[in-house]
């Protein structure tokens, strides 16, 4: 009889580099690999502790002098769209949602390029080629979906036109919610498509009985992230727990354990999932 024991995940820290959200700050990330049979329970567990997935890596900010990055999620049962969000829902009511397996297409990549060139030409993904894009979409060790939003364009003479892909979201299905890993959309449309995809994911989570929609990091003081604080029933992860965001401005002054505790203490406080050891019988 040979017993195969699960291997505890190893955690690492990146070297400091310029923060993409706050000028003058340095970012540092705590991360671990997401591989093997334990990938799903590890992703589920660490997502509840402020981690995010990027391909086969889970990471969380671990900056030594800043605590502005807070993981954010929406409580689906309590969410009520306000006037602006209801207007966005009406504006995009003609879009069709389709959730597919994580498979990259040339159509997606062309939309992705237009989005980057218009919105994030100086960002870290600006030079991503189609092979790197395919890896971002397809290299997932957990249950993921590519959620596409399309519309039918009008043809001459009033007939049915062509199908147009206008927005895409790579979404992980967690045991307690939907996690928006990365989204992009047609920048030429004045539809508030980024906000719409979040609102639609709230409805999708409601339909399948999942309590949360994870939005990634909200960064107090970053104009790029202001839109996340406008969602109803939003909570952020700090001091080891999820709490209502309340007044977003308070979080700039609130102490955060990631800003003061050594990396060893941060790792020691992470709760790992209980995974029964695999047993392999051998005659």
Structural domain count, the chain: 1
| Residues 26-50: tens digit of each pLDDT | 899 999 999 888 999 999 999 999 9
CA 253, 123, 216, 36 dihedral sign is negative
| Residues 103-148: tens digit of each pLDDT | 999 999 999 999 998 877 676 777 889 999 999 999 999 999 999 9
| Residues 54-112: tens digit of each pLDDT | 999 999 998 888 888 899 999 999 999 999 999 999 999 999 999 999 999 999 999 99
Phi, psi angles (nearest 5°) of residue 27: -105, 150
Q: Which tokens is 13 given?
A: 């820290």
Q: Which tokens is 54 given?
A: 């990027």
Q: Rounding to the nearest 10 degrees, give the CA dihedral for residues 105, 108, 110, 116.
A: -140
Task: Indicate the pLDDT class of residue 164, thresholds 50, 70 and 90.
Answer: very high
**Of 143, 85, 137, 142, nearest in space to 111 by CA:** 137
We report the CATH number of the domain holding residue 24 as 3.40.630.30
Task: Indicate the pLDDT class of residue 282, thresholds 50, 70 and 90.
Answer: very low
Cross-strand partners of 58: 32, 53
Other Cβ atoms closer than 10 A to 255: 9
Cross-strand partners of 184: 168
Determine the pLDDT at residue 247: 63
Q: Which tokens is 71 given?
A: 């993981």
Q: Would the pLDDT of 2 be above 70?
A: no
By residue range, what is the domain housing residue 145? 2-280
Kindly report whether the global pTM for this prediction surpasses the value 0.85.
yes
| Residues 225-268: tens digit of each pLDDT | 889 999 999 999 988 899 998 865 666 555 554 455 778 888 88
């Amino acid at each position: 009889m040979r017993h195969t024991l699960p291997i505890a995940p190893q955690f690492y820290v990146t070297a400091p580099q310029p923060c993409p959200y706050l000028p003058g700050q340095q970012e540092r990330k705590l991360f671990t690999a997401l591989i093997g049979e334990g990938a799903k329970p590890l992703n589920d567990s660490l997502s509840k502790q402020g981690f995010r997935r990027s391909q086969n890596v889970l990471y969380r900010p671990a900056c030594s002098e800043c605590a502005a990055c807070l993981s954010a999620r929406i409580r689906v049962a309590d969410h009520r769209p306000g006037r602006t969000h209801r207007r966005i829902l009406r504006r995009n009511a003609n879009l069709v949602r389709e959730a597919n397996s994580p498979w990259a297409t040339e159509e997606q990549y062309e939309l992705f390029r237009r989005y980057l060139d218009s919105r994030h030409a100086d960002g870290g993904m600006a030079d991503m080629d189609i092979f790197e894009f395919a890896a971002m979409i397809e290299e997932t060790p957990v249950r993921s979906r590519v959620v596409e939003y399309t519309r039918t364009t009008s043809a001459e003479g009033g007939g049915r036109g062509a199908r147009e892909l206008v927005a895409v979201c790579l979404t992980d299905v967690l045991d307690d919610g939907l996690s928006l890993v990365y989204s992009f959309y047609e920048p030429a449309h004045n539809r508030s498509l980024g906000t719409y995809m979040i609102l639609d994911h709230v409805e999708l989570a409601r339909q399948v009985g999942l309590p949360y929609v994870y939005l990634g990091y909200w960064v107090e003081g970053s104009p790029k992230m202001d839109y996340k604080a406008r969602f109803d029933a939003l909570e952020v992860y700090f001091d080891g727990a999820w709490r209502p965001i309340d007044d977003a401005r308070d979080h700039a002054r609130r102490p955060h354990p990631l800003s003061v505790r050594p990396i060893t203490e941060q790792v020691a406080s992470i709760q790992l999932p209980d995974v029964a050891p695999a047993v392999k019988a051998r005659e």
